[in-house]
Amino acid sequence: MAYPALCLGCEARLPDPVDALCATCLRGLPRADAEAVTRLLAHDPAVGAAVALWAFDPGGTVRRVQHALKYGGRPALGVPLGRVLGLAARDAGVSVEIVAPVPLARLRSLDRGYNQSAALAEGVAAALDVPVADLLVRTRPTRSQAALSASARRENVAGAFALAPGADVSGRRVLLIDDVLTTGATLAAAARPLAEAGARVDVAALALAGA
């Protein structure tokens, strides 16, 4: 691997090159406020439980982890981080039969060559000992949500997801995975086609960002 196995928090050498963080930094990261996470998505009829693991710390370790995962060319980080998220979801009472990533917009996916949410979903599924499946597709391109207001975000992603061809989720309990939860607009829009197809949908994200 081209990258040295150094902790993204303290730069200590890591025994496993796919790990992102040493045990000390992992334990010390700021946890997301569970009530704030629930409030973002509680009103949405398509979403059951909502879990986010860490709180964004501008300039801090969570930000560095998310950046490395998304832009740093280290998609392998997603799997061990996903395992941590999966255990947190289980501790929060989430019980599902299948894990699915939020699909990336096609252009962004090609640009980066991978979907960081798919790597996270793989780790979550491993931790929960359930399968992972691509249950959703994008129906149209969307703009980056970063510069948009909450209502513009909802408009931007409304109807942007559909059930993948051949996916049968009727009566299934699905956990939908994204890397960052901000207003909840993307996860809510992605949950909708699954709920409409008869799934019970919970959602989980690695980090909660301030909107």
- As measured in angstroms, the least distance from the Cβ of 72 to Zn ion is 17
- As measured in angstroms, the least distance from the Cβ of 22 to Zn ion is 3
Residue 62 touching Zn ion (CB under 5 A): no
Q: Which two tokens stand for residue 71?
A: 């832009």
Cα–Cα distance measured from residue 22 to residue 84, given in angstroms and rounded to the nearest whole number: 13
Radius of gyration of the chain (CA): 16
Question: Smaller CB distance to Zn ion: residue 10 or 34?
Answer: 10
Determine the interface stretch with Zn ion among 16-24, 110-118, 156-164, 196-204 (rule: CB under 5 A).
16-24
- Binding to Zn ion, residues 22-61 (CB under 5 A): 22, 25
Question: Smaller CB distance to Zn ion: residue 16 or 35?
Answer: 16
- As measured in angstroms, the least distance from the Cβ of 116 to Zn ion is 21
Question: Smaller CB distance to Zn ion: residue 64 or 173?
Answer: 64
Question: Smaller CB distance to Zn ion: residue 22 or 89?
Answer: 22
Query: Residue 116: in which H helix or E strand, if any?
Result: helix 116-128
Residue 10 touching Zn ion (CB under 5 A): yes
Helix (H, G, I), strand (E, B) or coil at 174: strand
Question: Is residue 191 a contact partner of residue 201, using CB atoms and an 8 Å limit?
Answer: yes
- As measured in angstroms, the least distance from the Cβ of 195 to Zn ion is 39
- As measured in angstroms, the least distance from the Cβ of 103 to Zn ion is 32
> Which of 9, 78, 86, 123 is in the footprint of Zn ion by CB under 5 A?
9
Give 11-55 as a DSSP string. --B-SSTT--S-HHHHHHSPBP-HHHHHHHHTT-TT---EEEEEE
Amino acid (one-letter) located at 52: A
Residue 86 touching Zn ion (CB under 5 A): no
- As measured in angstroms, the least distance from the Cβ of 19 to Zn ion is 10
Burial class from Cβ neighbours inside 10 Å (0-12, 13-18, 19+) for residue 181 reads buried
Residue 7 touching Zn ion (CB under 5 A): yes
CB-CB neighbours of 190 under 10 Å: 28
Q: Which residues bind Zn ion (CB under 5 A)?
A: 7, 9-10, 12, 22, 25
